[in-house]
Amino acid sequence: MAFTRDGYGQVEPNQLSAQKTGQIYASLPLDSAVKVLQNGEFMYYDYKTNKVSADDSTGMAEPMLVFNEIKLYEPFWRTSYKDFAMIRVGDNYVTSKLATAGYGDGSTTTGVTPSTTWTDPAGTHTQTGHTEYPYRMDGIAPRLFKTNVGDIYTTNMVKTLEGANVYAVGDTLQPKKNTTTKTLQLEKVTATAGTPLEGMVWVVVKVYTMPDGQPGLKLQRVQ
């Protein structure tokens, strides 16, 4: 059957080495061109340009797995993992389509410079030169996992296939740039005779399901 996805991408970590090695990165802001970032996508953690991007300015880096902590603030009976993504609202973000605002004024905060003056609620004390009180991070900081050969996880964040197209055990996948989402998404690739695949390669080890019953793939990194 065709491989389809309902809602946003999901990641079920089976054996991700970053959880033990500490190779988890979450200090750079997301490229402003990215409006929605889903778990299971890949991005570059690019310190040269000081952003998380689908483009590698160094020409030497490898993409990292997007695996944000899932936080859904609507009632549990209205949301599930498929509803979670980082959805840009101005300089901030909301976590699902059901949410209408991030910090309440996110849609109007692009380019805002935090105030350096703080006054306590009673109005009796004013302090200048500090930004921690009205602090607002300048951008969205996603969480990226460095993956290593042997890592295993289950996901439905791969290129959807229509009609009779299917994924099968043994298929190889690589992250490729999606020009619409400005993110990297796994899609099926095939090595040609005498020309091995270069860079990161994942192989389908089991055609599976996600916890919510949607089609999923268990993947292992082999290169």
Above 50 in pLDDT, residue 135? Answer: no
Inter-residue contact 184 to 34 (CB < 8 Å): no
Is residue 110 assigned to a domain? no
Is residue 123 assigned to a domain? no
Q: Which residue has the higher pLDDT, 113 or 17?
A: 17
pTM over 0.75: yes
In this structure, the number of other CB atoms found within 10 A of the CB of residue 189 comes to 15
Q: How confident is the model at residue 112 (pLDDT cuts 50, 70, 90)?
A: very low
185 phi and psi angles, rounded to 5 deg? -130, 140
Domain hosting residue 60, numbered range: 11-105+138-221
Is residue 126 assigned to a domain? no
pLDDT in tens, 138-155: 678 999 999 999 999 999
Inter-residue contact 132 to 114 (CB < 8 Å): no
Is residue 125 assigned to a domain? no
Q: Give the chain's domain count.
A: 1
- Dump the DSSP string for 6-57: SSS--EEEEE-THHHH--EE--SPBPTT-SEE-TT-EEEEETTTTEEESS-S
Q: How confident is the model at residue 45 (pLDDT cuts 50, 70, 90)?
A: very high
